[in-house]
A and B are shown apart, each in its own frame.
Chain A
Amino acid sequence: MILPNLFAMLQGGGAAAEAAHEAGETPDVAGMLMHHLLDSHEIEFELLGRGFVIHLPEWAPIHLGGLTIDLSPTKHVVFLMLAALLCLLVFVPVAGAIRRKGTDKAPGGIANAMEALVVYFRDEVVRRNIGHGADAYTPYILTLFFFILFMNLLGIVPFGATATGNFMVTGALAILTLVLVEVSGMVALGFNGYMKTIFYVPPGLHPVMAVVMLIILTPVEIMGKLAKPFALMVRLFANMMAGHTLVLSLLGMIFLFATIGPMRHGIAVASLAMVWPIMILEVFVAFLQAYIFAMLTSVFVGLIRHAH
């Protein structure tokens, strides 16, 4: 019970430093929100106005033909790599522990917990949705789930940033889902079968009507294929960003009321009382959204593999 409050206060600690710099004027809550939610070239570790800032290197953009690619590590990139590193650090020892113990005794501790999660995913999510041949997809779906989960959870701990609160990160994950679904569709259905999912004509239709239907339905089918990963991207991004926006807005309210309102001393208590359940909800939403992303990916793969 103390922990969410502590996390909330530390999140607001950074907010305090920025917002309170406008001494005498109304604090810039919108600017503080943008500073915390958007990507930046610095990682801040400030507590009560004192602390240090890590300035990340800014590399020159690479020009590839017409494209300009900026590969410099920003805050979200650093947290993305950190989440990937956490995945490796947690699961490589777990896999070693399970391999060493064999199958006669249950592994202890963290290996046991992770094995329960992994087996739940394999049986309830991957095998149920994909059917036969599901075991080839299990590593990717599980990696997706834990990677997204660690990225979401890193945003909740103090001084952390949510890499999934950046729509380019969730967009990249959605593009990977799109590639996975379409390629497994092509492999499972063959080229002809896959083309039938785009250019669909019911058998026994008059040729003129068939042409009309092709002209109308093909863009719709293509948009349908693109809309599902797009929905995945927006869902994950919006859920993660909305939680942080809400928490930061409520904490910024403290500073707003401190300058303009008469009852400024009770505001912090009321604001924290509202922020604390929202932070607990954010942990739950982190798990749920990672689960939904992985589950919908396996549902889409299963749907296209069984399209005939």
Chain B
Amino acid sequence: MLYAMLAFFQDAGAGMAPGSLGQLGAGIGMGLAAIGAGIGIGQIGNGATQGIARQPEAAATIQTAAIILAALIEGVALFAVVVAIIYKFVA
């Protein structure tokens, strides 16, 4: 099965333009980074809304912490964006 897949990629790569695998890699990497950011920020939303539901008077503190954590996680996803952009324009 693995040999079949490798043979397929070998064959498919024979007629492809140079650098197009790099573009494909950039696209897939971007998609995965977006999924990762979505899951991470979703977890923050989960914790934040539960915290606010349990203790409404702490809502302001929880909201501030949630926004800051979301920005930090988005920073990680944007690392992947930058690398994908480099792949797209260099390869």
Contacts of A237 in B (CB 8 A): 82
CA distance A21 to B62 in the complex (A): 51
Size of the B side of the interface (Cβ < 8 Å), in residues, is 10
A-B contact count (CB 8 A): 31
Q: Is the interface of B mostly helix, strand, loop or mixed?
A: helix
Is B1 on the interface with A (CB-CB < 8 A)? Answer: no
Size of the A side of the interface (Cβ < 8 Å), in residues, is 12
Is A195 on the interface with B (CB-CB < 8 A)? Answer: no
Is A242 in contact with B81, judged by CB distance below 8 angstroms? yes
Question: Which of B15-23, B43-51, B70-78 is the contact stretch?
Answer: B70-78
Q: Mark B50-76, 1 if CB is under 8 A from A, else 0.
A: 000000000000000001100110110
Contacts of A242 in B (CB 8 A): 78, 81
Is A238 on the interface with B (CB-CB < 8 A)? Answer: yes
User: Which of A234, A241, A292, A295 contacts B79 (CB under 8 A)?
Assistant: A234
Is A234 in contact with B82, judged by CB distance below 8 angstroms? yes
Is A78 on the interface with B (CB-CB < 8 A)? Answer: no
Q: Is the interface of A mostly helix, strand, loop or mixed?
A: helix
Is A289 on the interface with B (CB-CB < 8 A)? Answer: yes
Kindly provide the distance from the CB of A212 to the nearest chain B CB, expressed in whole angstroms: 32
Kindly provide the distance from the CB of B71 to the nearest chain A CB, expressed in whole angstroms: 5
Is B78 in contact with A238, judged by CB distance below 8 angstroms? yes
Kindly provide the distance from the CB of A2 to the nearest chain B CB, expressed in whole angstroms: 27
Is B82 in contact with A292, judged by CB distance below 8 angstroms? no
Is B71 in contact with A292, judged by CB distance below 8 angstroms? yes
Q: Mark A227-238, 1 if CB is under 8 A from B, else 0.
A: 000010011011
CA distance A239 to B71 in the complex (A): 9
Is A239 in contact with B68, judged by CB distance below 8 angstroms? no
Chain A residue at minimal CB-CB distance from B75 = A235
Chain B residue at minimal CB-CB distance from A236 = B75
CA distance A231 to B68 in the complex (A): 15
Chain B residue at minimal CB-CB distance from A288 = B71
Is B82 in contact with A289, judged by CB distance below 8 angstroms? no
Kindly provide the distance from the CB of B65 to the nearest chain A CB, expressed in whole angstroms: 12
Kindly provide the distance from the CB of A62 to the nearest chain B CB, expressed in whole angstroms: 29
CA distance A188 to B84 in the complex (A): 41
Contacts of B72 in A (CB 8 A): 235, 292
CA distance A237 to B82 in the complex (A): 9
Is A238 in contact with B75, judged by CB distance below 8 angstroms? yes
Is A238 in contact with B79, judged by CB distance below 8 angstroms? yes
Of listed B67, B72, B74, residue having the most chain A CB within 10 A: B74
Contacts of A238 in B (CB 8 A): 75, 78-79, 81-82
Is B68 in contact with A292, judged by CB distance below 8 angstroms? yes
User: Which of B67, B68, B71, B78 contacts A234 (CB under 8 A)?
Assistant: B78
Contacts of B68 in A (CB 8 A): 292, 295
Chain B residue at minimal CB-CB distance from A239 = B78
CA distance A295 to B75 in the complex (A): 15
CA distance A237 to B85 in the complex (A): 13
Kindly provide the distance from the CB of A197 to the nearest chain B CB, expressed in whole angstroms: 23
CA distance A242 to B79 in the complex (A): 11
CA distance A292 to B78 in the complex (A): 15
Contacts of A288 in B (CB 8 A): 67, 71
Contacts of A289 in B (CB 8 A): 71
A-B contacts, 5 of them at CB < 8 A, read A234-B82, A238-B79, A238-B81, A242-B78, A292-B72
Known: A237-B82, A238-B78, A239-B74. 10 other contacts (CB 8 A): A234-B78, A235-B72, A235-B78, A238-B75, A238-B81, A242-B78, A242-B81, A292-B68, A292-B72, A292-B75
